[in-house]
Chains A and B, each alone.
Chain A
Amino acid sequence: MQPVARLTLRALAGVSFSVEPGDAVALIGENGAGKSTLLRVLATLILPSRGQAEISGCDVVSDGAGARKQLGYYTSGDEGFYGRLTGRENLRLFATMNNLMRREASRRIDELAELLGMDEILERQSRTYSTGMLQRLGLARSLLHAPAVLLLDEPTRSLDPLAAVEFRRFLKDDIVGRLGTTLLLPPTHSAKLKKWQVELYYLPKDASLRSIPRAVSVHRQARPICRELSNT
């Protein structure tokens, strides 16, 4: 009876932060701290029972549609596509769902295909794609409507090391650098943080937690900006 039972699990209590336009921010924290939950709240997939969250000034509860207009949500892996449709057909469908009219959608798909190096695979059914191709297709989908904010959940999880390096470079240089998109992502392993070269926000599992774990403090030296999401 989970859907109608009383809510008992507290998540993201006391978390407060803001990200400036064009910044790239990685959320770090222990397992279960709520990194993915936070992203899902921002993506309007979970409604917070209390508190407030905004994407480019649009409240995710009272103006979910406005918030979704501003955000692209990308989860890693090869899920979420129709395998019997080609890459282009998949992207066209999601472009229509993001209110892009046919001609605009085609133009945008061509642009992104060029940007992501997908020209040659777009006419193939997506079930024939490799994991790396699906990653790019997923990223193209999240960028179709040129969102101001890009939420990335474990973006390099199923990529090989070389592809992951290339993917991070692409995000940093092209998505943040060229397009000026705000990036918010939770890396899975602290070891990967060095490679991201982004601002780090620490999400405490318990709102009362103050100390910063060693894994993070290492990176705190490497990257001077590491903030604890505070109780404000």
Chain B
Amino acid sequence: MCGIVGIYLKNDDLNPELGQLLAAMLVEMSDRGPDSAGIALYRDPVPESSCKLTLHAAGHYQWGLLQTEMAAHLKADVSLNVLASHAVVVAAAPVDSVQNWLSSQHPELRIMSAGSAIEIYKEKGLPVEFVRDFKLHELNGSHALGHTRMATESAVTTEHSHPFSTGMDLCLVHNGSLSNHNWLRRMLRDEGVDIQTDNDSEVAAGYLMWRLREGDSLEEALNRALEDLDGFYTFAIGTKDGFAVLRDPIACKPAIMAETDDWVAMASEFRAIAQLPGAEHANIWEPSPATVYMWGH
């Protein structure tokens, strides 16, 4: 069992409150996932010539030194903002060069997300601790996904937590369990997709990354996933402009969606949506099995 929450703001006036709204939804899903919590947040897109990465370090880290070293090597402006065990780096350089430099010079760092607007934060522990440590109430943004994990398939670590990056400005959160992930992982590694853990949800993220790389649109990739992924799932996929939702054809794993003039939200349970302003008068429905839902600007 896990908890998924997602919110997309139609009313920009609410952008400063995004983190606060997300925090309330996330904490409400603690019963469904007390092992770890994570979010993907979309805000402050950087110019096309720049890129934004979220990095994670285990233990205390000299982020200031990294910033200086990166700026000198890339010969570019680099800004860095530390948030608990994570740091968001904005560099006026192509994303490939930053990623290559980081993986060759700083393999101790994990790249949680890359793109222009996405930021991913995730950590072991109760959602309420995550909300406190990552100061969620202070975070703004246009839309966000969140996940509370109750591990069933693999270990409880930060690396095994959700969301998983699936490419530039894309991420995935999952409630369920995949039964053919070992076979898929081997296939994806043969295709050159970097899968770092034995977690089944990371395989789903890797699958989407592979299909998008092969030229599928997100909608095509999700429809193909219905054929290739065996198991139970409710997925929420964050995109630069919004988010998508997909449930497997059996649809045992719950999902509920709601919309008002101000927002669109999805969650594993209504009680998470009940935290949002105006929820009692929202248009509420349950997404159909094997159907791709997408929201965006």
Q: Does B bind A?
A: no
B residues neighboring A (CB under 8 Å):
none
A residues neighboring B (CB under 8 Å):
none
